């Protein structure tokens, strides 16, 4: 039996790049996708297509619509509008402790399937002001997980692998293209339409990334302009 | 506006004692109950009765049935039977990283309502072999939460309060009785019936606790014997 890695797969650029990187490290891929009733339902469909592309044995999709019951974010509460302008500080799309919650669940799943690593595509460079995308947070959480699990207890601590943490979006894309990551299957737009809006925070970051990588973004945009190239 | 505390309220002895302790500290109580499709559905009903007893402003009940999608425990998987005998090491009722997941969600809720503390009734004394009930785990998680949240970012870290961590079940009950904690509304049995089975790990621990506290357990048991006294 090969060594296993859980990949937190959102259907976006970064998590899909993690699929390519974990595969290159020789891991059997166990993508885990969170379906949390957020605006971009498209992400789940794209995540399925990406999992299929990588011919994974199992793709767990976990319904975490209950995050709406906790509230506090533009991505989960319909009453707060999605921002289209650059914001100062921590954005309104902030879901409290989102990575803490997602990575805790990923660690639980890793323990169940006896995976030795959890890959997450967080980046401290283009982290958009989220506190839980930083190296200090990740290393603290890794230690906390070690103390929370039977695996850690028994001397097989689950590693949190963050290969993109020091990469800009452009560097991530360059790395992904080298590994033939299927970027045409990824989605980034906060609006979640069939065609990317091109103006939300996430679209702007993606387009800048492709421009920096001097590559063509294979997905369509509302304005018809191809990013990068 | 008074200071707020989130209380992780399962409907059991320990979490209900935390309601009494947080109230005695002058906190407005915001109980948070996880309904995770486990065998003891009764817990949620009892938690509601306890919240009503304390006349709380709000009682959030969060559906986390998705834990079944992650799996790995006798409490969430019907295929694994509930143990009735004393077990060695980590019990089969273990849900991977359960406290990590629950306390992460509680921290997110605390951030939303601007609570300064999260109370949890974990005990390192009668902790039944769960790795995530120990002081080292709690202190690591508290630091991790500080780094994961806007509150921590802005110098208002959310405290994880574990008043029972060094108390035995008997000591907890003695403390609770002093504070008039409504133990008649609590439920502990893993079988989750109307009347406690008296033989599961949790019932045995509870009965021993009341015996040690030299108090009468107000709930009924199948065998009709009153614990303690």
pLDDT at B64: 79
Name the residue in chain B with its Cα closest to that of A140.
B144
Tell whether B153 is covered by a domain.
yes
Q: Do B66 and A69 touch (CB under 8 A)?
A: no
Q: Is the separation of the CB atoms in A82 and B44 below 8 Å?
A: no
pLDDT at A150: 81
- B215 within some domain: no
Whole-number Å distance between alpha carbons of A126 and A200: 15
What pLDDT digit, counting tens, does each position of A162-178 carry? 999 999 999 999 999 99
Min distance B227 CA to chain A CA atoms (Å): 33
Chain B residues close to A108, C-beta within 8 Å: 67, 70, 72, 95-98, 100-101
Beta bridge partners of A5: A29, A117
Residues B119-143: what's their mean pLDDT? 83
pLDDT at position A127 is 56
User: In terms of pLDDT, which residue wins out, A150 or B8?
Assistant: B8
**What is the radius of gyration, based on Cα positions, of chain B?**
17
> CB B194: neighbour CB atoms within 10 A?
9
Structural tokens at position A15: 């998590």
Give the B-side interface with A, CB within 8 Å.
Answer: 60-64, 66-67, 69-72, 90, 94-101, 104-105, 107-109, 111-112, 131-132, 134, 136-137, 140-141, 143-145, 147-150, 152-153
CA–centroid distance for B170 within its chain: 16
Domain presence at residue A210: no
Amino acid B40: pLDDT: 53
Which residue segment(s) compose the domain that B51 sits in? 4-181
Q: Which residues of B are annotated as a binding site?
A: 9-19, 189, 197, 200, 203
pLDDT of residue B152: 85
In the structure, what pLDDT confidence band is assigned to residue A133 with cuts at 50, 70 and 90?
Answer: confident
Statement: residue B42 has pLDDT above 60 = yes
Of B60, B111, B131, the CB nearest to A72: B111
Query: Is-contact A72 B111, C-beta < 8 A?
Result: yes
pLDDT higher than 90, residue B91? no
CA distance A94 to chain B (A): 9
pLDDT at B138: 93
Which of A74-88, B4-18, B128-142 shows the highest mean pLDDT? Answer: B4-18
Question: Residue B39 burial by CB count (10 A; 0-12/13-18/19+): exposed, middle or buried?
Answer: middle
The answer to whether residue B229 sits within a structural domain is no
The number of folded domains in chain A is 1
Kindly state whether residue B207 falls inside one of the protein's structural domains: no
Domain presence at residue A211: no
**Would you say A15 and A102 are in contact if contact means Cβ atoms under 8 Å apart?**
no
User: Contacts from A86-95 at CB under 8 Å and sequence distance 24+?
Assistant: A86/A201, A87/A129, A87/A201, A89/A129, A90/A129, A90/A130, A90/A131, A90/B150, A90/B153, A91/A128, A91/A129, A91/A130, A91/A201, A93/A128, A93/A190, A93/A201, A94/A129, A94/A130, A94/B150, A95/A67, A95/B108
Q: Are B77 and B71 in contact (CB under 8 A)?
A: yes
CB A131 within 8 A of CB A163: no
pLDDT value at residue B78: 43
The reply to whether ipTM tops 0.85 is: no
Give the gap in angstroms from C-alpha B100 to the nearest C-alpha of chain A.
6
A42 falls within a domain = yes
Q: How far apart are CA A111 and CA A158, in angstroms?
A: 8
Is residue B170 over pLDDT 80? yes
Can you list the pairs that B155-161 forms with residues at least 24 positions away whose Cβ atoms lie under 8 Å?
B156/B116, B158/B107, B158/B110, B158/B111, B158/B115, B158/B116, B158/B117, B158/B118, B159/B116, B159/B117, B159/B118, B160/B103, B160/B117, B160/B118, B160/B120, B161/B5, B161/B18, B161/B22, B161/B117, B161/B118, B161/B119, B161/B120
Q: Mutation test of the interface with chain A: which of B35, B75, B97, choosing the one with the most A Cβ atoms within 10 A?
A: B97
Query: Could you tell me what percent of chain A has a pLDDT over 90?
Result: 60
B63 to A62: CB separation less than 8 angstroms, yes or no: no
Residue in B61, B70, B99 closest to A109 by CB: B70
- The shortest C-alpha distance from A76 to chain B (Å) reads 13
Cβ neighbors of B136 (< 8 A, separation 6 or more) are A147
Q: Is the pLDDT of residue B7 over 90?
A: yes
Closest CA to A7 of A104, A119, A109: A119
Q: Do A97 and B104 touch (CB under 8 A)?
A: yes
CB-defined contacts A:B, below 8 A: 139
Judge whether B193 lies within some domain: no
Nearest to A111 among B72, B137, B148 (CB): B72
User: Which residues of chain B does A134 touch, with a Cβ-Cβ cutoff of 8 Å?
Assistant: 147
Q: Has residue A218 got a pLDDT over 50? A: yes
Q: Spell out the residues 6+ positions from residue A224 whose beta carbon is closer than 8 angstroms to its own.
A: none
CATH number of the domain where residue A29 is located:
3.40.50.620
Looking at residue A73, what is its pLDDT? Answer: 47
């Amino acid at each position: 039996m090969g060594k296993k890695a859980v990949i937190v797969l959102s259907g976006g650029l970064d998590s899909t790049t993690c699929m390519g990187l974990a595969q290159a490290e020789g891991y059997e891929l166990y993508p885990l996708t969170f379906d949390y009733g957020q605006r971009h339902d498209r992400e789940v469909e794209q995540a399925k297509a990406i999992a299929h592309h990588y011919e994974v044995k199992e793709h767990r999709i976990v319904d975490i619509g209950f995050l709406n019951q906790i509230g506090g974010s533009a991505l989960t509460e319909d009453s707060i509008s999605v921002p289209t302008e650059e914001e100062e500080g921590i954005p309104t799309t902030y879901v409290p402790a989102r990575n803490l919650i997602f990575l805790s669940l990923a660690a639980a799943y890793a323990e169940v399937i006896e995976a030795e690593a959890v890959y997450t595509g967080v980046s401290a460079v283009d982290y958009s002001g989220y506190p839980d995308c930083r190296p200090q947070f990740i290393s603290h959480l890794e230690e906390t997980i070690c103390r929370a699990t039977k695996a850690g207890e028994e001397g097989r601590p689950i590693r949190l692998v963050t290969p993109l943490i020091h990469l800009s979006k452009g560097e991530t894309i360059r790395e992904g293209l080298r590994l033939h990551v299927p970027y045409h299957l990824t989605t980034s737009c906060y609006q979640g339409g069939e065609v990317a809006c091109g103006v939300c925070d996430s679209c702007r970051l993606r387009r800048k990334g492709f421009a920096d990588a001097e590559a063509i973004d294979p997905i369509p945009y509302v304005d018809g302009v191809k990013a990068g190239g």
